[in-house]
Amino acid sequence: MLFSISRIRIRIRAAAFFAALSLVAAAAFAVPGADELLVLLDKAQTFESSYANATMTIVDRFGTRRTEFKVWSRGKDDTFMEFTSAAERGQKILRNAKELYLFFPDAEEVTRLQGSALRQGMAGSDISYEDMTGNRNRAQNYTAVILGTEQLEGRSVFHLDLKAKSRTVAYARQEAWIDAADYLPSLIKFYDLSGKLLKEMTFSGRLVVDGYPFNTRFLVRDMLKAGTSTEMAFRDLTVNQSLPKNIFSLDNLKW
């Protein structure tokens, strides 16, 4: 009898152990919900502060040209860019939570962009002002559905379908393939309200800076134009460092 009771106790303890182990394993491999993935995507691309030098290579019917600039960012809303290449030197862009401003040295005045002007190509590229400065608020602007998990360039990704919550958002719908390991974007497709594919953005060149993963390159193709592309490459990346005083101010545009 004592032997039987002991065996029962051992079986109960073993069952409890394996049940606990199963719960731990399930938690370890739990798939985030669609809305949580959007939050993780935004978080992976948002920092207290960041800085980089960038090169933009534009291919169109006129050939290939390059332009360079410096870019600073703070949180989800603030971005400041200053062009350093000869043809565009002195041009500046400021984006905050509500507005986007341009400064051209020849005009010697600040221009505020609104509405459809935000969709214009930056420096004649396939990357709009909205693409460059306004894509860190997807969790706020879109609802998402997980379409599945896939393999893309040898990495596991979540495939999401995003629909805009309002007509004020630049793109009515997006498809996003998000890396399952670090939640950085691997591929994003942008659609208009009718479902027409407008752009594709492919990300590459992963680099870890101070423990944070980055995509150091992305290629944009405007699907409404034939034979054009724009590639953005970042270098000298820093994160969560002190930034120059008042860099995100309107006064800084004119200096």
Question: Residue 9 pLDDT more than 70?
Answer: no
Protein fold of 34-254:
outer membrane lipoprotein receptor (LolB), chain A (2.50.20)
Q: Where are the domains of the chain?
A: 1-30, 34-254
- Out of 61-70, 111-120, 183-192, 208-217, which region has the weakest mean confidence (pLDDT)? 111-120
- The pLDDT-based confidence of 20 (bands split at 50, 70, 90) is very low
Please spell the DSSP secondary structure of 142-187, one letter per residue.
EEEEEEEEEEETTEEEEEEEEEESSTTSS-SEEEEEEETTT--EEE
Predicted TM-score of the model (pTM): 0.82
d(CA 209, CA 240): 11
pLDDT digits (tens, 9 = 90+) for 211-226: 999 999 999 999 999 9
Question: Residue 182 pLDDT more than 90?
Answer: yes
Burial class, 23, CB count within 10 angstroms (exposed 0-12 / middle 13-18 / buried 19+): exposed
Residue whose entry in the numeric block shows the structure tokens 């390159």: 217
**Which residues on neighbouring strands pair with residue 207, listed in sequence order?**
214
What does the angle CA 236 – CA 238 – CA 243 come to, to the nearest 5 degrees? 115
pLDDT digits (tens, 9 = 90+) for 75-88: 988 999 999 999 99
Question: Residue 12 pLDDT more than 80?
Answer: no
- Decide which of 217 and 9 is more confident: 217
Burial class, 91, CB count within 10 angstroms (exposed 0-12 / middle 13-18 / buried 19+): buried
Whether the CB-CB separation of 42 and 137 falls below 8 Å is answered with: yes
- Give the pLDDT of residue 135: 66
- Give the pLDDT of residue 134: 64
- Out of 8-22, 119-133, 192-206, which region has the weakest mean confidence (pLDDT)? 8-22
Span 25-37, mean pLDDT? Answer: 68
Whether the CB-CB separation of 225 and 194 falls below 8 Å is answered with: no
Span 137-147, mean pLDDT? Answer: 93
Question: Residue 53 pLDDT more than 70?
Answer: yes
Q: What percent of the chain has pLDDT over 70?
A: 86
- Give the pLDDT of residue 77: 87
